[in-house]
Amino acid sequence: MSNKFICFNGNFYNSEMPVITANNRGFRYGDGFFETMKVLHGKLVLKELHFNRMFKSLQLLQFKVPEYFTASYMEELIISLLNENKIQESAKVRINIFRGNGSLGDIKNNELNFIIEAESLATQAFSLNNKGLIIDVYKDAKKVCDNFSHLKTNNFLPYSMAALWASKNNLDDALLLNQFNNIADATIANIFIVKDGVIYTPALTEGCIDGVMRKYLLTCCNKEGIPLKEVSISISDVQEAQEIFLTNSVYGIKWVQQCGNSFYTLQIAKWLYNTFIADAIKA
């Protein structure tokens, strides 16, 4: 048996113990979403942004939220889980929220259920990669642009297939397209490109995930007057860019060296890392 623990609805269980049944709506229909965050030295990095996104997702997906379910309640459970698993330095925490049992049309069961997982990370702080990522564009699945496409829902099939394709082709990641054949994001990250000194990232209307690190960088750049625009990005824009980097809340910024037959420099990503990430959000 594993000596690691998970938290299911406020109680701690061995991670190998089943906690849901076959008629669970999250398992059956992907009826839910998840939140991934990083913990450094016992503190949740950018926790306000994470919990704000989590409660907005709960509201948009019409969950019935009990009064006790607050950000402070979840933070206490996360810290307790880290202690149970004897994780002291750096961790990746995943909160999966889903509805309970029932059929597809069972609208009476809107009570939320949640599972918290925590795993230790080898790298304690954020770090910028010296060896650039090699990626390409995955074209076999498209992200739909709608009112829910920016959520990290449990229906993650396009990303799952793109990640499988990337692995089979010895790539570090893959870019996904939306229904209009524009770039949405990568399998576990948002994408930024640099052209002629201006930073661009797909707008939320392009079907990308509303990433916490994406939002953090948008806020930082806006405060400092740094040109960063949310737009539509085509495949040709990616091919013609001078620089590409990916962001998420666990690794911060990752520089992309190659996408398909195009190669990129490392300049703006390094400056952003040193200016806003290396020191500003360390616990």
Looking at the domain assignment, is residue 261 inside a domain? yes
Angle between helices 47-60 and 71-84 (to 10 degrees): 120
212-244 confidence digits (pLDDT tens): 999 999 999 999 999 999 999 999 999 999 999
At residue 3, the pLDDT reads: 60
Looking at the domain assignment, is residue 128 inside a domain? no
* 138 and 108 within one domain: no
> Domain range for residue 197?
133-277
Angle between helices 212-224 and 47-60 (to 10 degrees): 120
What does the DSSP 8-state code read for residue 151? Answer: S
**Domain finish residue from 65, 90, 120:** 120
* 83 and 35 within one domain: yes
- Note the Cα 87 to chain centre separation in Å: 21
**Domain finish residue from 95, 120, 145:** 120
Query: Which stretches within the chain are classed as H helix?
Result: 25-29, 47-60, 71-84, 157-168, 212-224, 235-240, 268-272
The answer to whether residues 93 and 13 touch, using CB atoms and an 8 Å cutoff, is no
At residue 280, the pLDDT reads: 56
Percent of the chain exceeding pLDDT 90 equals 84
SS3 157: helix
195-204 confidence digits (pLDDT tens): 999 999 999 9
Strands (E), the chain: 5-8, 11-14, 32-40, 43-44, 90-99, 112-120, 133-143, 173-178, 183-186, 190-195, 198-202, 228-231, 243-248, 252-259, 262-263
Total of domains in the chain: 2
65-97 confidence digits (pLDDT tens): 999 999 999 999 999 999 999 998 889 999 999
Looking at the domain assignment, is residue 245 inside a domain? yes
Rounded to an integer, what distance in angstroms lies between the CA atom of residue 114 and that of residue 32? Answer: 9
The answer to whether residues 52 and 71 touch, using CB atoms and an 8 Å cutoff, is no
Distances from the Cα of 179 to the Cα of 96, 106, 182, angstroms: 27, 30, 7
Rounded to an integer, what distance in angstroms lies between the CA atom of residue 94 and that of residue 82? Answer: 12
Looking at the domain assignment, is residue 11 inside a domain? yes
Looking at the domain assignment, is residue 127 inside a domain? no
171-213 confidence digits (pLDDT tens): 999 999 999 999 999 999 999 999 999 999 999 999 999 999 9
* 68 and 173 within one domain: no
Looking at the domain assignment, is residue 283 inside a domain? no
* 143 and 272 within one domain: yes
Looking up residue 69, the CATH number of its domain turns out to be 3.30.470.10
Instruction: Provide the whole-model pTM.
Output: 0.93
* 165 and 88 within one domain: no
Looking up residue 235, the CATH number of its domain turns out to be 3.20.10.10
* 191 and 111 within one domain: no
* 167 and 97 within one domain: no
**262 or 3, higher pLDDT:** 262
Q: Which residue has the tokens 């040109």?
A: 227
Length of the chain, in residues: 283
* Residue 282, pLDDT above cutoff 70: no
* 146 and 255 within one domain: yes
At residue 283, the pLDDT reads: 44
**2 or 155, higher pLDDT:** 155
What does the DSSP 8-state code read for residue 229? Answer: E
